[in-house]
Amino acid sequence: MAANGNARLEIRGLDAGWGATTLVRGADLEVSAGEIVGLLGGNGSGKSTMLWAIAGLLRPRRGTIHLDGRRVDGLAAERLATLGLRLLPQTRRVFPSLTVRENLEAVELAVGRPDLEATRARRDAWLERFPVLANKADLPAATLSGGQQQLLALGRVLSSGPGVLMLDEPSAGLSPMMQDDVFERVAGINADGVSVLIVEQNARRCLQLAARGYVLDQGRNAYTGTGAE
């Protein structure tokens, strides 16, 4: 069992890397229910590698990962998604040749029939929330701006109804106005009850949003504190 009964996500002593290189070394992290947590650090500090290991896209070399009290390290990403853990990677994973609506509907292939009605309701709510996407619902995703594609990718992940959402630099490459929109959406997602772990290049803005933050340095925990600190 996870040590903290309130933790949606709990990582202890995590080692992870690529090939012969270990980029995350003995890292600890917790995300409690209803919390936004920031994960910060310089380039090459292991932030994205840590997210990939948590999400089941990269097998941890050591350590434990608990999701809602259940040990899940070693489970495949597809299984973790069914348990409510989703990752939105830095690269905007949209299908450029599919329409905006078809991109949002694609998630229906990954959910069971009992969840289909709720999935469609979340899809429709996302389109209603963003007229810029609704107005282009029948156009290819390739016609969207970078910021609009990011909103589409975020909407597609949310249509699956995650309990814990991990975001890898969601504001990267966006205009200041679109960054504001994305951060506003993240706050709204959290207000709806989704716990959020966010890696972000804009440290100041991230810590304004997050209740707590972790700083990685060469893959190790260097600092942990509240957003205000």
- Specify the pLDDT at position 97: 94
Q: Give a yes or no: residue 122 inside a domain.
A: yes
How many folded domains does the chain comprise? 1
CATH number at residue 125: 3.40.50.300
| pLDDT at residue 112, as a whole number | 53
Q: Is residue 108 part of a domain?
A: yes
- The residues of the chain scoring below 70 in pLDDT are 1-5, 92, 107-115, 229
- Contact indicator for 111, 123 with CB cutoff of 8 Å: no
Domain extent at residue 110: 7-17+30-226
Asked, for residue 38, whether it belongs to a domain, the answer is: yes
24 inside domain? no
Q: What is the pLDDT of residue 11?
A: 98
**pLDDT value, residue 105:** 80
Separation in Å, CA 163 to CA 46, 121, 189: 24, 17, 10
Q: What is the pLDDT of residue 118?
A: 75
With b for 16 or more beta-carbon neighbours within 10 A and e for fewer, the 119-130 pattern comes to bbebbeebbeeb
Cα 185 vs. chain centroid, distance in angstroms? 13
Cα 1 to chain center, whole Å?
24
